């Protein structure tokens, strides 16, 4: 279903009793705050022009909305409709489709092109543009390249809407949803459904608890492999960025997470073994210089059977970065001492 729901805070001072519902077409966007999504629009509903306020997704003139909320009497601006939820719907009539396409919502489509498309495909215009661009390309003056760009623009809009519908109920606001969409692109919803913990690893401000709520909704509870894997990687990442530790003791990692996740330690250990086998993480004895030398020279994984009492665990990418940094420092320390002098014309600037 092609729709997008946004929760909104009432902005009126005095409200009438009971929730009401409106449906109409966006006539004008008076104000939109990208930071918190607060928006003021003029909605044409049953031939009446109504001012609607509240949190809304990015809108275009001509889009069809279903709005729930309450009528309010603002002391300065008069009668308004304070939205508690806003649902974007696909335009259903030819007039609504024309208003949407001719508004500039889709780059490269103006009034003439919108008329041409609607004349050819009627109420199925948007569906044909999204699913059958080859039919659109046969129209005079459009061609394959423009038809493809129309398709991509509509698919992008749908992807953003589906992502919003997925995340809004979990307290993830519009601004953060835009950040997630920029980070993960059109496949964001599919990526999150497959592994919600990836959000916590990739997007700043999304914590483990949010990922847990999403995972529970997707049936990834208890000792589900995706949950155990995500928890391990997230913990290693947080240990690095919050505490500055590039590795964690194997035993401590398993004990702490077993308690936090309320799962069997053997299951968590098996998930960690899998990550080691896939070379996403490394497990080694930090006191064994020979193992470190072999890893650095062969660029291969370390012994999966390292003594769990002495072993530590690190993200492979971080370990390799540390090794490269150490190599660079050693290289620089072996170079002859540079002879540098201060140029008096430029203060403390050194020339070597």
Instruction: Look at residues 54, 69, 89 and tell me which one is the last residue of a structural domain.
Output: 89
Enclosing H/E stretch for 72 = strand 64-74
Query: Which among 125, 2, 122, 4 has a CA at the least distance from the CA of 58?
Result: 4
Query: What is the pLDDT, as a whole number, of residue 3?
Result: 46
Based on the fold, state whether residues 82 and 211 are members of the same structural domain: no
The pLDDT tens digits of the residues spanning 152-203 come to 888 887 788 778 778 877 777 777 888 888 888 888 888 999 999 988 888 8
Least confident of 10-24, 227-241, 276-290: 10-24
In a domain, 317, yes or no: yes
Instruction: Look at residues 69, 89, 109 and tell me which one is the last residue of a structural domain.
Output: 89
> Residue 67: which CATH number?
2.40.50.140
> Residue 278: which CATH number?
1.10.10.2220
Q: Are strands 20-32 and 64-74 parallel, antiparallel or unpaired?
A: antiparallel
Question: Using an 8 Å Cβ cutoff, are 337 and 272 in contact?
Answer: no
In a domain, 308, yes or no: yes
pLDDT exceeds 70 at position 333: yes
pTM of structure: 0.61
| Domain total of the chain | 2
DSSP-based three-state secondary structure for 62: coil
In a domain, 140, yes or no: no
| Phi, psi (degrees; rounded to nearest 5) at 264 | -75, 140
In a domain, 119, yes or no: no
In a domain, 116, yes or no: no
pLDDT exceeds 90 at position 51: yes
Q: Which domain holds residue 50?
A: 3-89
């Amino acid at each position: 279903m092609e729709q997008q729901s946004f929760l909104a805070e009432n902005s009126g001072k005095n409200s009438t009793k009971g929730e009401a519902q409106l449906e109409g077409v966006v006539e004008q966007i008076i104000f939109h705050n990208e930071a918190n999504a607060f928006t003021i629009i003029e909605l044409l509903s049953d031939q009446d022009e109504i001012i609607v306020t509240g949190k809304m997704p990015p809108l275009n003139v001509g889009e069809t909305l279903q709005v729930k909320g309450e009528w309010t009497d603002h002391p300065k601006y008069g009668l308004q409709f304070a939205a508690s939820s806003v649902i974007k719907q696909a335009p259903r009539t030819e007039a609504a489709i024309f208003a949407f396409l001719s508004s500039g919502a889709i780059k490269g489509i103006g009034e003439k092109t919108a008329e041409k498309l609607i004349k050819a495909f009627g109420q199925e215009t948007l569906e044909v543009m999204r699913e059958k661009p080859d039919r659109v390309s046969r129209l005079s003056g459009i061609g394959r390249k423009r038809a493809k760009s129309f398709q991509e623009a509509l698919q992008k809009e749908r992807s953003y809407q589906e992502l919003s519908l997925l995340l809004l109920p979990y307290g993830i606001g519009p601004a953060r949803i835009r950040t997630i969409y920029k980070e993960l692109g059109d496949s964001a919803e599919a990526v999150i459904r497959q592994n919600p913990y990836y959000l916590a690893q990739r997007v700043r401000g999304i914590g483990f608890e949010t990922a847990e709520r999403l995972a529970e909704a997707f049936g990834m509870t208890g000792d589900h492999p995706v949950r155990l894997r995500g928890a391990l990687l997230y913990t290693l990442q947080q240990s690095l960025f919050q505490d500055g530790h590039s590795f964690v003791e194997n035993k401590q990692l398993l004990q702490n997470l077993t308690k936090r996740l309320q799962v069997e330690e053997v299951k968590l250990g098996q998930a960690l073994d899998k990550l080691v086998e896939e070379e996403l993480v490394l497990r080694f004895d930090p006191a064994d210089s020979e193992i470190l030398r072999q890893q650095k020279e062969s660029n291969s994984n370390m012994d999966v059977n390292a003594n769990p009492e002495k072993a530590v665990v690190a993200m492979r990418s971080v370990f390799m970065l540390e090794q490269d940094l150490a190599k660079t420092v050693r290289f620089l320390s072996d170079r002859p001492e540079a002879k540098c002098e201060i140029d008096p014309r430029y203060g403390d600037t050194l020339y070597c």
